[in-house]
């Protein structure tokens, strides 16, 4: 499978800043707040660590969760307030919204009923800030999608128990992107092999389901792909490093082993060992209908940014835009592309958090070119389709996101 290097390919080997968590802690999640970066570690460290953006010095520890923390992300407009906040959930069955300024919990939601509290594995906030969703682990025969009204969070407003039959590993609301607004839809993924879209405002679960795709393998990560026109697509990754692309109706467009796109030249080699995660670029380029940035890693601790100009075309080459090397030892577990501050953060199994110069915006490439070193600065600026499991009601005004599909 073709991997070609971008004309702007650069390699960075020196982080701008480096911080760390306690020894032997894996850095599992990173998030950006107005004044701090937040990091979550592997069990048994259940606290959330806040780092000053300018220096990457640890300035505060939030108490986190009673059991291992499973999801950490920055959200905007909680309760319709317009403010940015830190959202977390854990295996203690609690979702917390944190106040960055006071270092305290501003809002707390419990899985209900409390005497049968379930571990929460994933969570997200709707675009209007009024609905919070979380996915649970499997207990008995059910894994639940729970929905809270953030204005009245005492107990879940509704729960859907038939969407998935195993641990729910990811939930993501469809949100506005690059000036485009969309209906309120929730994407969920599970180790049962299913990806589902649902109407989070519908009480009747039989009516709430929109589309379901069956991948036939445990889904570890998933998310939306936003484009210039049409409706968003969906990406997914499995526990076996398979990378999938789906239409908005969850028809599978294609999947590949993310380890296959590799580059071998006399002067340069890149081989992928695993997927770290994906990022939707804020500004979609004129030459691309969608701009999904795929971050991959090597077992030695190196990181690379890959894109693809057309996910609907199996012959479309993968493009290598940048590599970051020698900053980590071992597997890189998390990343955060902070576009507003032009930096990339990475966290690894070596307990380190590195801040790197920002990846360049991707550009189409037809011919390979030579790589170049990046002039790092010490200053960081802070200002073939598988069967579909089942098909639900079509969602109005949504069209396939990729030409020719």
Output the pTM of the full model: 0.88
Q: What is the pLDDT of residues 77-122, one digit of tens each?
A: 888 888 899 999 999 999 999 988 888 899 999 987 655 678 999 9
**CA distances for 355 relative to 257, 275, 301, 309, 321, angstroms:** 28, 19, 14, 27, 18
* pLDDT, mean over the chain: 86
pLDDT digits (tens, 9 = 90+) for 263-280: 998 888 999 999 999 998
- Inform me whether the pLDDT recorded for 309 exceeds 90: no
Any idea which residue has 């069209």 for tokens?
A: 399
Tens of pLDDT, residues 179-217:
778 889 999 999 999 999 999 999 999 999 999 999 999
In the predicted model, is pLDDT for residue 363 greater than 50? no
Q: Which domains does the chain have, with CATH numbers?
A: 3-383 (2.130.10.10)
């Amino acid at each position: 499978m073709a991997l070609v290097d971008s004309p702007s390919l650069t390699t960075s080997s020196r982080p701008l800043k480096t911080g760390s968590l306690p020894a032997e802690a894996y850095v599992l999640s990173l998030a950006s707040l107005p004044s701090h970066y937040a990091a979550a570690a592997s069990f048994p460290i259940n606290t959330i660590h806040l780092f000053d953006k300018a220096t990457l010095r640890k300035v505060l520890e939030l108490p986190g969760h009673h059991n291992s923390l499973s999801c950490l992300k920055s959200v905007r407009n909680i309760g319709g307030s317009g403010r940015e906040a830190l959202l977390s959930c854990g295996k203690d069955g609690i979702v917390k919204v944190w106040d960055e300024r006071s270092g305290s919990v501003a809002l707390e939601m419990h899985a209900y009923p409390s005497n049968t509290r379930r571990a929460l594995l994933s969570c997200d906030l709707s675009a209007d800030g009024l609905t919070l969703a979380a996915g649970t682990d499997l207990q008995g025969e059910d894994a639940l999608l729970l929905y809270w009204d953030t204005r009245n969070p005492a107990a879940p407003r509704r729960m859907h128990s038939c969407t998935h039959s195993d641990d729910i590993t990811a939930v993501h609301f469809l949100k506005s992107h690059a000036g485009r607004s969309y209906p309120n839809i929730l994407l969920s993924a599970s180790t049962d092999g299913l990806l589902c879209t649902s109407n989070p405002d519908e009480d009747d679960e039989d009516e709430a389901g929109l589309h379901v795709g069956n991948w036939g393998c445990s889904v570890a990560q998933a998310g939306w792909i936003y484009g210039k026109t049409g409706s968003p697509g969906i990406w997914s990754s499995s526990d076996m490093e398979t990378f999938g692309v789906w239409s908005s109706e969850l028809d599978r467009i294609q999947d590949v082993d993310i380890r296959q796109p590799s580059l071998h030249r006399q002067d340069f080699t890149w081989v992928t060992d695993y997927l770290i995660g994906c990022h939707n670029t804020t500004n979609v380029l004129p030459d691309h209908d969608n701009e999904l940035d795929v971050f991959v890693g090597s077992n030695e601790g190196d990181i690379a940014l890959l894109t693809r100009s057309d996910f609907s075309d199996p012959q479309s080459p993968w493009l290598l835009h940048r590599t970051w090397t020698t900053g980590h030892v071992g597997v890189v577990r998390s990343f955060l592309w902070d576009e507003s501050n032009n930096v990339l953060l990475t966290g690894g199994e070596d307990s380190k958090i590195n801040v790197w110069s920002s990846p360049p915006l991707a550009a189409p490439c037809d011919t390979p070119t030579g790589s170049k070193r990046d002039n790092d600065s010490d200053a960081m600026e802070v200002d073939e389709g598988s069967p579909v499991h089942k098909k639900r009601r079509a969602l109005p005004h949504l069209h396939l996101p990729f030409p020719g599909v």
